Amino acid sequence: MERGAWSPARWFLANALLVFLALALALSYRVDPTVPASTLGGNLSDGEPRFSLIGTVLSRTGPVHVLKAGFPLLYYAEESRHDEEPCSSAWYLISWLLGTRVRSPMDLMAMELGRSSQALEDYVPISDLREEWDGALVLITLPPGGETTPVTAPGTARPLVAVYHTHATESFLPVTGGNRPEDSFSDDPARNMLRVGEYLVSELRRLGIPVVHSRTVHDAGGRVGAYARSEITVKRLKDTYPELLVMIDIHRDSQRGDLTTAIIKGKRYAKIMTVVATENPSWMANYSFARDVLDALERKYPGISRGIFYESAVYNQKYSPMALLIEVGGVDNTLEECEASMKALASALREVLLARRVVR
């Protein structure tokens, strides 16, 4: 081939990029206001949405807004792929070109134009989920040797806090014995995020906060569609307990231990990060609550917080102005570190709820 000549594949990518830029320039989309990267010492200058053509084209989330307008199922693919293992170089290039995560041919199929709602049922095995949804949602199994009991504060029949897990099978390499990040998953509830949720629930209960814990595993058949399934759980919890105010979805991040571990006064903690979904119309309320919780954490445990991550998504946060998506540690952390962090988080939550006069 003559030096400097472009291969057909390169021409295809260049032409696709030009088409994408043309679409982006032709449309002007709402861009979320700039928010501080950390919750410490920062305040939003205003709460008004801004419109910026250049900002939409150049921002990280702008291309996703453009694509979502033409690809109705892209939202579901984006939601279900939150916090998965790194993709190959080829898929990374395609993801960069499209402005969103694409990790398999199935993702590309899900973004096809003209797909109907029935296609989503083919993509997510709904028939397999109905049996799971019929299961109990509000019981927690205590550590081995304990009883299975409803989790509410003594003398309180109705919980104010709900804990659930969209990605319950996330675990930790020291627990699973694996070496690679993709090995940090477990179906054993004593070794995955259900156990981490139990740590938080037990401490909240000890502090007198009425709480309910859903042990439904929403990613048992795979991560695709997990947020759609956990949304069913959130709705059922809200219907069963109308008094619920705080909804906490507990995850494990995919980062390594040097970023996700804190040593405070000689004790090791799994760092805590919150994710605020900016596609939620009332996301500013979720941001305010997350900021208050992390600020309370930092006052008592300096260095335990990784701040707030902003994602162009919903993540079921539209169901409560005090919804939290919590990332506890990363693949290299231990259950002991997570337990220490959940005790710290429970204390911070109690402080914030007292300040907001939610509890007395």
Q: Per residue in 243-270, pLDDT tens? A: 999 999 999 999 999 999 999 999 999 9
CB 53 within 8 A of CB 25: yes
List CB contacts of 233: < 8 A, sequence separation 6 or more: 133, 137, 164, 214, 216, 218
Give CA–CA dist 93/87, Å, rounded. Answer: 10
- Decide: helix, strand or coil at residue 30: strand
Strand-pairing partners, residue 302, are none
CB atoms within 10 A of CB 232: 17
- Decide: helix, strand or coil at residue 302: coil
Give CA–CA dist 150/156, Å, rounded. Answer: 11
pLDDT band at 357 (very low <50, low <70, confident <90, very high): confident
**pLDDT, greater one: 104 or 15:** 15
**pLDDT, greater one: 184 or 72:** 184
CB 74 within 8 A of CB 111: yes
Tens-place pLDDT, residues 137-155 = 333 333 333 332 334 444 4
Sheet holding 272-277, edge to edge: 211-213, 161-164, 246-251, 322-328, 272-277, 305-311
Give CA–CA dist 43/280, Å, rounded. Answer: 19
Helices (runs of H) and strands (runs of E) counted in the chain: 14, 12
How distant is the alpha carbon of residue 244 from its chain centre?
20
Tens-place pLDDT, residues 290-311 = 999 999 999 999 999 999 999 8
Give CA–CA dist 187/168, Å, rounded. Answer: 8
Of 77-86, 228-237, 337-346, the one with minimum mean pLDDT is 77-86
Give CA–CA dist 45/57, Å, rounded. Answer: 23
pLDDT band at 220 (very low <50, low <70, confident <90, very high): confident
| End-to-end Cα spacing for the chain | 76
**pLDDT, greater one: 10 or 319:** 319
pLDDT of residue 336: 97
Tell me: pLDDT of 22 over 50.
yes
Strand-pairing partners, residue 250, are 326
**pLDDT, greater one: 9 or 269:** 269
Tell me: pLDDT of 223 over 80.
yes
pLDDT of residue 144: 35
How distant is the alpha carbon of residue 90 from its chain centre?
25
Of 47-56, 80-89, 188-197, 331-340, the one with minimum mean pLDDT is 47-56
* DSSP of 324-352: EEEEE--TT--HHHHHHHHHHHHHHHHHH
Tens-place pLDDT, residues 109-135 = 444 433 333 333 333 333 333 333 333
Tell me: pLDDT of 172 over 80.
yes
Of 81-85, 131-135, 195-199, 300-304, the one with minimum mean pLDDT is 131-135
Instruction: Please report the domains of the chain, with CATH numbers, ordered by start residue.
Output: 8-123 (no CATH), 126-355 (3.40.630.40)
